[in-house]
Structure 1
Amino acid sequence: MKVRDLAVQGALAAVALVAAFLVWQREPEGAPGEVTVVDAPARALDLVRYEDEARFVELFRDAKDRDQLWVRLGYKPPKPVPVPAASGAADGGVVATPGADAGTAVAAAGADAGTAPVQVMANTEPPPPPRELRANDVAEKLFAKFAPLRAMRSLGELDAKKLEEVGLTSTQRKLTVTVGGKAQDFSLASPAGGWGTPYLKREADGRVFLLGPALLPDLENATSRLVDRRLHTFDLGEFDEVVITAAGASRTFTASGKAPGPVNLMPKESPDRPDEFARNWHDRVWRLMPLDFLGRGEQPPGGEPEESFRVEYRRDGKPLGEVRVARGNDGFYVRTEHTTGWARLHSGVDNLATEAAKVTAQVSSSAGK
């Protein structure tokens, strides 16, 4: 009896574990009254794209590491601008606008025959290449909200008049959700006053949904809200050694202390004497805040900048990270073990570069004591 009882209890426990696992794996249910627009698990979501008349934003998984999320920021080609032709152009020729090439000029249609005035299309510059940047934790949470994608309610299929009333007839705002390699396209109405609860039309079947007000603002302001702007993933106190290199010389310091205060730096050649000058200098380096992050593979204007100084961080003798500050054609840039590329710094870094040479030069004077 005891053996049989144990077997029954074991079987019940196994069933309970399986049930718990299935509940844990199940996607969370939406709020009461919500409807599902895209029914797919978050792990199958590949890409979310938002675009308007001028730019686009994409959140997408890395092809080599699906756990890594990226933000792609880009501009759409500008639309040609019609320019009224000169009033005297009535010879049926081609009217050229200064700076417009042959591909942008529109042939005159014979203004003397009573046709409309000739117009030319103003020449436009192509947009810069899209910029790919590492996504932050806000982007991670936002990305998960698109699979499954839920709306406040479904309005069904609307007639042409109603579509125009809600702003879906001529909108240039689009949303694309790609799941398992298959894209699902939507049109987005522009909310009155630039804010509110947007309408969403699914292009596949024409059904219209009312989205919640908190879903799109992060996509619309992706540069400030979705980009990972950290220089490091470690903090003060997580490294015990700092190596500063500048002007052809290097100096090693033992580091102690933790956030929120600055770390103390003790030169290896005199470990019992904290270096206040080096400490203050390093504190300013640690607090550098880039103005603009370049994407992966993107170079500053003029190409690779020239390194001014470098700070390496170690823990237990192993590399932990680094800061490289370099001078480019248009100012100073910084790059670390975490950034996707170079990031442009604010003005006033010249003093840091000059003082870096003083920090490393002190090793010779200290060694001579």
Structure 2
Amino acid sequence: MKVRDLALQGGLAAVALVAAFFVWQREPAGSPGEVTVVDAPARALDSVRYEDDTRFVELFRDEKDRDQLWVRLGSKPPKPSVVGATDGGTAVAPAGADGGASDAGTAVAQAHGADAGTPQVVGTTEPPPPPRELRANETAEKLFARFAPLRAMRALGEMDGKKLDEVGLASTARKLTLTVGGKPQDFSLATPPGGWGTPYLRREADGRVFLLGPSLLPDLENASNRLVDRRLHTFDVGDFDAVVITAGGTSRSFIASGKAPGAVTLAPEESPDRPDEFARNWHDKVWRLMPLDFLGRGEVPPGGEPEEAFRVEYRKGGKRLGELTVAKGQGGFFARTEHTTGWTRLHAGVDALAAEAAKVSAPVSSASGK
């Protein structure tokens, strides 16, 4: 009897362990009252794309490393203007169209060999610039995980045309596409009143409408400021013990010491007990350079590759840790590091740093006179 009881208790314990394992493996449940719109684990999510009538934003996994996220920012081709006609037969562009003067509309219609009273479709044929691919930051990684599973505040079912028009879903240009396991799932997004608030989401596959949470979309709508990794380096002051500064064909090595948030103390390698205040101040300004604009992966600055002005190499224990290259191109200075995807445009005022770089990197015989 005791053996039977022990066997029964052991079996129940085994079942409990199996149940606990599956509960542990399950995706975390949403908040009370939430409904699931897309039931998929985060590891199966390939990309999240948001678009409106003028631009698009896409968060996507790297093909070679699925743990690395990228942000793709792009513009859509402008919509052509429709040139109509007045009762007098004078072609005019509708309000809000480019070049909306009546004489401009007449000229366009005549240029196309058409009657001035016939509506014409006009617009620029210049394609938008290629989209930029930039490294995603930690905020983007957290946001990406919130789309799989995708949850909403409420499920509202299907709506008729009148109701869709009332909530802003009848003719919206805002779209959301989630690609899960290589298969896209499309949604329409209503524009909230006043441009902010809780948007409505319509699943195109079955027409069901959901009330989406208010905190999910703002980061996508402001992706260039919120989702792009804007760091020049992933290391900080105190993570390197040597700096090599190169400019004008000459290089000079310094021993580096200090901790964030203070400036790095630099002492020439040949005289480590004599810190160089000029080099210290110069490097502090270089370290605090703030990129104005990040160019995308594979994107070349206007006018072609810029010409190097100076370079700063960071070392730890004799091994290269990272490098900053500052170069002058068409319209200003650019920077590139071991972490950036390409060139970054710098603010004005780098000319003085470029000129002083030659003094900092000069040999001891020349540097002693500065």
1:325 aligns to what?
Answer: 326
Query: For the residues of structure 2 that align with 1:240 and 1:331, how far apart are their CA atoms?
Result: 31
2:158–2:209 contact (8 Å) kept in structure 1: yes
2:339 aligns to what?
Answer: 338
2:250–2:363 contact (8 Å) kept in structure 1: no
TM-score by length of 2: 0.88
2:35 aligns to what?
Answer: 35
Indicate whether 1:298 and 2:299 are aligned: yes
2:47–2:180 contact (8 Å) kept in structure 1: yes
2:90–2:106 contact (8 Å) kept in structure 1: no
Relative distance call for 1:356 and 1:85 in structure 2 (3 A) is farther
Aligned AA for 1:334? Answer: A
1:169 aligns to what?
Answer: 170
Relative distance call for 1:34 and 1:118 in structure 2 (3 A) is closer
For structure 1, the 5+ residue unaligned runs are 1-6
Query: For the residues of structure 2 that align with 1:99 and 1:307, how far apart are their CA atoms?
Result: 49
- Cα distance, 1:81 vs. partner? 1.4
1:106–1:120 contact (8 Å) kept in structure 2: no
Write the deviation string for residues 34-87 of structure 1: whole angstroms up to 9, x where unpaired: 000000000000000000000000000000000000000000111011245797
Relative distance call for 1:14 and 1:207 in structure 2 (3 A) is same
2:3 aligns to what?
Answer: none
Query: For the residues of structure 2 that align with 1:342 and 1:172, how far apart are their CA atoms?
Result: 33
Summarize the alignment of residues 131-170 of structure 1 with structure 2, pairs less than 5 Å apart.
131-170=132-171
Summarize the alignment of residues 345-364 of structure 1 with structure 2, pairs less than 5 Å apart.
345-364=346-365
1:106–1:121 contact (8 Å) kept in structure 2: no
Aligned AA for 1:62? Answer: D
Summarize the alignment of residues 127-276 of structure 1 with structure 2, pairs less than 5 Å apart.
127-276=128-277
- Cα distance, 1:124 vs. partner? 4.0
- Cα distance, 1:330 vs. partner? 1.1
Indicate whether 1:308 and 2:348 are aligned: no
- Cα distance, 1:18 vs. partner? 6.1
Query: For the residues of structure 1 that align with 2:15 and 2:348, how far apart are their CA atoms?
Result: 65
For structure 2, the 5+ residue unaligned runs are 1-6, 92-102
Relative distance call for 1:66 and 1:323 in structure 2 (3 A) is same
Relative distance call for 1:354 and 1:181 in structure 2 (3 A) is same
Secondary structure (helix, strand or coil) at the match of 1:354 reads helix
1:97–1:122 contact (8 Å) kept in structure 2: no
- Cα distance, 1:10 vs. partner? 11
- Cα distance, 1:119 vs. partner? 2.8
Aligned AA for 2:55? Answer: R
1:26 aligns to what?
Answer: 26
Summarize the alignment of residues 37-186 of structure 1 with structure 2, pairs less than 5 Å apart.
37-84=37-84, 108=114, 110=115, 116-186=117-187
Relative distance call for 1:106 and 1:200 in structure 2 (3 A) is farther
Over aligned residue pairs, what C-alpha RMSD do you find?
Answer: 2.9
Number of equivalent positions: 351
Relative distance call for 1:99 and 1:107 in structure 2 (3 A) is closer
Query: For the residues of structure 2 that align with 1:99 and 1:70, how far apart are their CA atoms?
Result: 45
Secondary structure (helix, strand or coil) at the match of 1:361 reads coil
Secondary structure (helix, strand or coil) at the match of 1:291 reads strand
Aligned AA for 2:57? Answer: V
Aligned AA for 2:127? Answer: P
Query: For the residues of structure 1 that align with 2:323 and 2:18, how far apart are their CA atoms?
Result: 46
1:97–1:120 contact (8 Å) kept in structure 2: no
Relative distance call for 1:83 and 1:262 in structure 2 (3 A) is same
- Cα distance, 1:117 vs. partner? 3.6
TM-score by length of 1: 0.88
Secondary structure (helix, strand or coil) at the match of 1:28 reads coil
- Cα distance, 1:126 vs. partner? 1.2
Query: For the residues of structure 2 that align with 1:152 and 1:325, how far apart are their CA atoms?
Result: 49
- Cα distance, 1:14 vs. partner? 8.4
Secondary structure (helix, strand or coil) at the match of 2:291 reads coil
- Cα distance, 1:194 vs. partner? 0.2
Segment drifting more, 359-368 vs 293-302: 359-368
Q: Percent identity over the alignment?
A: 77
Query: For the residues of structure 2 that align with 1:313 and 1:77, how far apart are their CA atoms?
Result: 43
Aligned AA for 1:211? Answer: L
Segment drifting more, 34-43 vs 8-17: 8-17
Aligned AA for 1:139? Answer: A
1:47–1:60 contact (8 Å) kept in structure 2: yes
Query: For the residues of structure 2 that align with 1:120 and 1:17, how far apart are their CA atoms?
Result: 69
Aligned AA for 1:28? Answer: P
